[in-house]
Chain A
Amino acid sequence: KAGVTQTPRYLIKTRGQQVTLSCSPISGHRSVSWYQQTPGQGLQFLFEYFSETQRNKGNFPGRFSGRQFSNSRSEMNVSTLELGDSALYLCASSLLPRTDNEQFFGPGTRLTVL
């Protein structure tokens, strides 16, 4: 079956703009988590959605938001972009929201903020 897909794969924005990233989980998976990966901080948890409800949120400012649709697809939005938001944004899906459930990662969206 198809893996986790993320669109777009690459994105270049300027400071102050906003961006929306999309994630389609593996068919049948209802839990979607988002992570930010940078060389300095590594992989950091952004938020997790299950059945259209945010279950957990990481320590990121309110400029970062997300949502999940009834078909389990998820989007994350970053408003008022800053240079430090340049990162690889990874989406992961799992059957259930339990942390010990295996998560399957997408290839990520590489965001560059100029």
Chain B
Amino acid sequence: TQLLEQSPQFLSIQEGENLTVYCNSSSVFSSLQWYRQEPGEGPVLLVTVVTGGEVKKLKRLTFQFGDARKDSSLHITAAQPGDTGLYLCAGVRGNTPLVFGKGTRLSVIA
């Protein structure tokens, strides 16, 4: 059983469209991290959300942590081809190892 479920698994959109990616769990996390991984590279940390209900913005990317700290979402406004990649969420619980979702593979077509 996957501790963190990400949806959708795949997303193909046109440049300029908006999209939302979800990361859900039945477990509570002390914080949640979002990564982007491009082909041939390792994941790169985009943001960490810590407080329930927290919203963080990174240019056109908006990250939200659920009030109960069990879920998170990533919203991209006006997607660009450079946003293409695998988006991973990872949950932090105390000092146990990071738990990753399987990811959402995003393709933005020009």
Contact = CB atoms under 8 A, between A and B. Distances in A.
Is A bound to B?
yes
Interface of A: 4, 33, 35, 41-45, 48, 56, 58, 90, 92, 97-100, 102-108
B44 A105 contact: yes
Interface in B75-89: 88
7 contacts: A42-B100, A43-B88, A56-B97, A103-B45, A105-B44, A106-B42, A107-B41
B94 A105 contact: no
B95 A92 contact: no
Contacts of B2: 42
Nearest to B103: A42
Contact of B42 (A41, A48, A56, A107): A107
B87 to A, nearest CB: 12
A31 to B, nearest CB: 11
Q: 10 closest A-B pairs (Cβ-Cβ)? A: A105-B42, A42-B102, A43-B100, A45-B97, A99-B92, A105-B43, A100-B92, A90-B42, A56-B97, A106-B42
A35 B44 CA distance: 14
A4 B103 contact: no
Contacts of B40: 107
A48 B97 contact: yes
In terms of DSSP, what is the predominant structure of the interface of chain B? loop
Contact of A4 (B42, B98, B100, B101): B42
A113 B97 CA distance: 27
Nearest to A9: B40
A43 B2 CA distance: 11
Scoring B40, B95, B97, B103 by chain A CB atoms within 10 A of each residue's CB, the highest score goes to B97
Given A42-B102, A42-B103, A100-B31, A33 B43 contact: no
A102 B45 contact: yes
Contacts of B41: 105, 107-108
